[in-house]
Structure 1
């Protein structure tokens, strides 16, 4: 019985430590008092967790302050998680060809807990300073590099996400309508919705059993976007998406 209690305590400690790390999903830096309040634990317990995570390298504490930030080990794990994404490995050669054919930056994003995570970006020579970065997390309802992830998400998850935005009734209906249009078209096109002065065109990509795997997109400066090029860009991205779908084992009739 005693061994079972010790095991339960150990599991509870691990769960609490993970809860602390998960706070960085929303906050860049945290304090001891914030952790205690947010996770409903005593300051003593919060201190022990923060101390252990810092001592092991998963957190770091600023020298002249009280805030804690993700440490090198957390960054390393995050980087390895990005590199190990199966869709990233499958899509990379196709994305490289797409960049060459369009002459635009190319992105691959995936949905993580209803947020958009950029797992790959192939730059042209003129890097877009305002655009997304590998490892960056972005609102899933903003920009054509992200919105297909929301539009093609499972209905229940999509509705819960839209509800969590706490938008006004009209604004919520507008966003729902836009997502329906994205599903009907099969792609999204936005200007300045995520990054001012930039445009993006994004297509969803799918894996086995036609499960949503990610979104591929191209982007550039809006002023350089010539409408006569739009159809050619669209054709190239659609072909790239179809190739990734094929390589990932998606069923053609579900496209």
Structure 2
């Protein structure tokens, strides 16, 4: 790996040559395979000067990506572990949900989404396009505020108390371009919690409705939400049982993640109801 970047080599955002990022990546690859490694071993393996390795390790440690142990050993840092754990969780919920999304898609013929929370937004991590209507509002990798759409609303309604309080504070400070007043959204959160699923009736796209249900893991923690979207008359027609089918799909995905529904789950008021 020894060698200098050419004068015309591309640079990272802070001006460092991309070659340094390659070296940092190589260090992390080694630490991922071996629990603890000394700087001397890294220098020998990568054929780099120890001074270069020490400098890279110090920079990575400042970011929380590596940490020093005893006798000059280095290992993966807690921050990088958290990032990796988050990626694994997203992969796990997608893997658990996808077969049930496919079944819901086959049964309904409508667009099916899997969303997870990122901050105060819901991000689409999987999408199966409908045969009749292909929603343009939420593409794969796209995001929406938690109060807009059935999947995001299901996430907002079943999120922990601190997340809901953060959303309330943000809404009070910044308001919202769409989706109603804080009182209206608060009432919709209560209704969603009571019936176990969210309904979006044209609050994203005219003529389009959706229903969404939460997905949980073995710790009874919210992982995300499944939703199905299509023409309003189709989605909201009770004869099509789309709310029931969506809840069933979400519950099956949750069970595959080890969730066991508490006996008093549906109809339970939000913990913050007494504070509003």
Deviations 1:130-189 (A, max 9, x none): 231110011111111210111111112201212212349x92222212111111111011
Which runs of 4 or more aligned residues in structure 1 lie more than 6 Å from their structure 2 counterparts after TM superposition? none
Which among 259, 262, 266 is matched to residue 250 of structure 1? Answer: 259
Q: TM-score, normalised by structure 1?
A: 0.64
| Partner residue in 1 for 2:33 | none
| Partner residue in 1 for 2:110 | 104
Q: CA deviation at 1:102?
A: 1.1
Moved more, 118-127 or 146-155: 118-127
Q: CA deviation at 1:107?
A: 0.6
Q: TM-score, normalised by structure 2?
A: 0.59
Deviations 1:42-97 (A, max 9, x none): xxxxxx973538968x9xxxxxxxxxxxxxxxxxx9xxx59952100111111101
Q: CA deviation at 1:197?
A: 2.5
Higher Rg: 2
Q: Take 2:137 and 2:89, find their aligned partners in 1: how far apart are those partners?
A: 20
Give ranges in structure 1 of 5+ residues lacking alignment: 1-47, 59-76
Shift in CA distance, 253/225, structure 1 to aligned 2, threshold 3 Å? closer
| Partner residue in 1 for 2:219 | 209
Q: Take 2:215 and 2:94, find their aligned partners in 1: how far apart are those partners?
A: 11
Q: CA deviation at 1:129?
A: 4.5
Residues 104, 219 of structure 1: 8 Å contact kept: yes
Tell me if 1:50 matches 2:13: yes
Shift in CA distance, 54/244, structure 1 to aligned 2, threshold 3 Å? farther
Q: Take 2:17 and 2:155, find their aligned partners in 1: how far apart are those partners?
A: 35
Shift in CA distance, 236/162, structure 1 to aligned 2, threshold 3 Å? same
Equivalence map 1:66-145=2 (5 Å): 81=87, 85-145=91-151
Higher helix proportion (structure 1 or 2): 1
**What count of residue pairs does the alignment treat as equivalent?**
185
Residues 82, 119 of structure 1: 8 Å contact kept: no
Which among 197, 213, 231 is matched to residue 207 of structure 2? Answer: 197
